[in-house]
Amino acid sequence: MPKTASQRAGNSVALVVSAMLLASGASAQQAGSSAPERDDALLRPFLAEVPRTESETSRIARVVAPPEDFSAPEAFEQNPGGAASVRARDDADAFSMSSGNMPFERELDFKVGNGLFKKLWVSSPSSTLASDGLGPLYNTRSCQRCHIKDGRGHLPGPGEDAASIFLRISVPATDDTAMSDIESFLLSRGDTPLRVRPDPVYGGQLQNFGVAGQAAEYRLGVDWTYETLTLAGGETAELQHPTWRADNLGHGPLAPGAMLSPRLAPQMIGLGLLEAIPAADLLAQEDPEDADGDGISGRAQVVWSFEHDRPMLGRFGWKAGAATIREQSAAAFSGDIGISSPIFPSNWGDCTEAQVACRAAPHGGGDARGTEIDAEGLDLVTFYSRNLGVPERRNLDDPAVLRGKQVFHEAGCASCHTPKYVTARLEDQPEQSFQLIWPYTDLLLHDMGPGLADNRPEGRADGQEWKTPPLWGLGLAEQVSGHRAFLHDGRARSLLEAVLWHGGEAQAARDHVVTLAPDARADLIAFLESL
């Protein structure tokens, strides 16, 4: 059976105790726990967390326990972001409001961060010194152009350039390839990571634009095939299968064995609350060997933090490749826009040593800022991204929604899409501090089967593993973004299609949905639309 929230909370307590003892030199076995010994770096918070008391831990376990009664909403369920929730607007700005509990004196930082998030960068040299440094290769000219209205990216239409989806690229590492810091760390823990490297010419992702004088790296191409599925009750559903291509390569052929993986820009809401979930609460849900036999074997992504110079728990990105919002933001500035920052200071972005002209092109660094976006600017963008409020639930007391919630739990969806947490107490982040939140994710890696596989490893994730995405805001996605494009590459045109793509560890839940009576299936979708 799926692990209950109370069981997970109990495991969380054991991990916290183990972490405290590990920090003082004792082992997990000395703590009286059967949990495997963990490196303290994974649990040591980078935020100013205030330790929980024993009384708080017990109270939290009761609060996050799974529901037993589906006849009415749970207490505080209307506010998925806790006190940071915002009212549900009926326009495209529903994802662009600041945390509902933000102190007035911090609103200015949010608005300035929003300005930097929307700012269009220009190529160097330019008289607009505060905005020059674009590229030389890039996917977009601003954060907002990928995350339009802070929502999801979209697939390009016929003849349209890709603006909010791109291809990541890597090649297998050879036997003589130097091992990275994270690989050395994982091997020291007994892991055997699948070693890959950026393409020696094209780097870690493909950019489809170049500034004047620089050839774009590629043009995104895709072919679609279609499959019709028969569902219980005589209903049918059509799935579209993509085959992604890198067309019009501008810098020669890809390296042998090159692996491509599409990445659609995700929505931005609630990121600060996800960052504030205690690492121990997430690690407590790991079960890599499926010891309890429930078919769910999630495991944590472990990444090297360039910001903190140590291994950390990955939380952000489709395969949880970034540990913090600040580092994820800096990586996007570098890879997507070609903008240097204190974390990734290369002024040429993702250009490789083989792209000599790209590295030699003019850039915007070297003035008083030092990098093309300085520490203050990066902090403001981080603050903005951390504080995009989660809209309140709609129709949560509708009988169909309540029935759909019960179906969600009975199907086993909550085994990966963990409904709720209580965030850490944070001394310097009042908006995220000690909030009961409902993101519906465990932020762990799960095998999703061959249907969704990109066959490209990333860190600990293999080619079939993906991070469980949060579900909050699903029902407003089309209102904000003007389309429905779900999953990592936007292939699902509806929530039902997204469910039907689930395989691997989620195969049983997916099959349960297929066998439901049509009205029960409709109730499940009504519940998801209410999130």
pLDDT at 331: 97
Tens-place pLDDT, residues 385-430 = 999 999 999 999 999 999 999 999 999 999 999 999 999 999 899 9
- Using the predicted structure, report yes or no on whether residue 36 has a pLDDT greater than 80: no
pLDDT at 185: 83
- What confidence category does residue 15 fall into, taking pLDDT thresholds of 50, 70 and 90? very low
**What's the number of domains the chain is made of?**
1
Q: How far apart are CA 497 and CA 140, in angstroms?
A: 29
Mean pLDDT of 145-168: 94
Fill in the DSSP letter of residue 421. Answer: E
pLDDT at 45: 60
Residue 296 within a domain: yes
Residue 480 within a domain: yes
For the chain, the first-to-last Cα distance in angstroms comes to 25
Percent of the chain with pLDDT over 70: 90
Angle at CA 73, nearest 5°, toward 67 and 79? 105
398 vs 48, more confident: 398
pLDDT at 195: 87
- Using the predicted structure, report yes or no on whether residue 365 has a pLDDT greater than 80: no
Mean pLDDT of 372-389: 97
Mean pLDDT of 130-149: 95
- Using the predicted structure, report yes or no on whether residue 503 has a pLDDT greater than 50: yes
Residue 25 within a domain: no
| Structure tokens, 127 | 């008289």
What are the CA-CA distances from residue 332 to residues 102, 130, 380, 390 (Å)? 26, 18, 15, 22
Residue 3 within a domain: no
Tens-place pLDDT, residues 188-210 = 878 888 889 999 999 999 999 99
CB atoms inside a 10 Å sphere around CB 416: 24
- Using the predicted structure, report yes or no on whether residue 8 has a pLDDT greater than 60: no
- Using the predicted structure, report yes or no on whether residue 118 has a pLDDT greater than 80: yes
- Using the predicted structure, report yes or no on whether residue 327 has a pLDDT greater than 70: yes
Mean pLDDT of 158-178: 91
- Domain span at residue 275 reads 49-530
Tens-place pLDDT, residues 263-279 = 999 999 999 999 999 99
Tens-place pLDDT, residues 218-237 = 999 999 999 999 999 999 99
Residue 369 within a domain: yes
Least confidently predicted of 11-15, 312-316, 504-508: 11-15
- What confidence category does residue 182 fall into, taking pLDDT thresholds of 50, 70 and 90? confident
pLDDT at 188: 81
| Residue 527 CB contacts under 8 Å (≥ 6 apart), including other chains | 400, 401, 402, 403, 404, 405, 407, 408
Residue 310 within a domain: yes
Structure-derived torsion over alpha carbons of residues 277, 280, 281, 284, reported in degrees to the nearest 10: 150
- What confidence category does residue 457 fall into, taking pLDDT thresholds of 50, 70 and 90? very high
Residue 36 within a domain: no
Mean pLDDT rounded to a whole number for the chain: 90
Residue 275 within a domain: yes
Q: Where are the alpha helices (DSSP H) in 48-99?
A: 54-63
